[in-house]
Amino acid sequence: METPAREIHGGVKFRTEFLSAAAPADARLEELKAWCAEFHKRNFAPPYGEFSQGNLSFRIRPGGDAFVISGSQVGWKDRLTDDKFVTVQNCDLQNGIVYANGTRDPSSESMLHFAIYRARKDVQAVFHGHSREILLCVNKLNLSETREKAPYGSIELVRSVMEVLGDADFVLIRKHGFVSLGATMKEAGERAIETHRLCLQDG
């Protein structure tokens, strides 16, 4: 297999155990869909073929482990239906198993979202996107960045983010993308937009 300079999201690297085929039934799903559309529009989830490279989630209940996340191998160009999203109930990081409700694999970075929610009870939304411009701003904006490049969807990538996360709300994943965190989806989304705006600003 060829290894491109910037690795693309090509499916999950964990095993999904489906607890049921139910799509998420949560009023906040519409807000999550709107943010997927916004990320698509701003090219924070650049399409690779027909699939968008990004994954967005929100925590279902404060303090709980469960979250709703975009599914693996979904394009965000068109209006998204509920079944393009998955509820992750739990993860076994050691053995690479994700326990979920839905009809498709949850996003390839589900283990990363899980680890962040576990470590940061203040975080209710985790938005992962890709942006060449933001990656180039690491020094200009003094952003936190993972120390080593790790393959997408891997436990090494989860560890590399957790290593530098601390109480930061925005972290660059080296040669890959970013995670933007928030107490609400609005906060996580607007943080990414604002960071990108500052990147493009002169001086």
Give the binding site for Zn ion (CB under 5 A).
177
Q: Which is nearer to Zn ion, 106 or 177 (CB)?
A: 177
Interatomic CA distance for residues 55 and 70, integer angstroms = 6
End-to-end CA distance of the chain: 41
Longest dimension (CA), the chain: 52
How far apart are CB 128 and Zn ion at their closest, in Å?
Answer: 6
How far apart are CB 134 and Zn ion at their closest, in Å?
Answer: 12
Interatomic CA distance for residues 112 and 126, integer angstroms = 9
The residue type of 96 is G
Interatomic CA distance for residues 87 and 197, integer angstroms = 32
Interatomic CA distance for residues 202 and 198, integer angstroms = 8
How far apart are CB 198 and Zn ion at their closest, in Å?
Answer: 21
Q: Which is nearer to Zn ion, 85 or 152 (CB)?
A: 152
How far apart are CB 55 and Zn ion at their closest, in Å?
Answer: 7
Q: Which is nearer to Zn ion, 5 or 27 (CB)?
A: 5
Q: Which is nearer to Zn ion, 24 or 177 (CB)?
A: 177
Cβ(91)–Cβ(110) under 8 Å? Answer: yes
Q: Which is nearer to Zn ion, 23 or 123 (CB)?
A: 123
How far apart are CB 9 and Zn ion at their closest, in Å?
Answer: 5
Interatomic CA distance for residues 4 and 11, integer angstroms = 15
How far apart are CB 176 and Zn ion at their closest, in Å?
Answer: 6
CA proximity to 26, closest of 80, 92, 87, 96: 87
Cβ(190)–Cβ(142) under 8 Å? Answer: no
Q: Which is nearer to Zn ion, 135 or 137 (CB)?
A: 135
Residue nearest to Zn ion (CB): 177
Q: 193: part of which helix (H) or strand (E)? A: helix 185-200
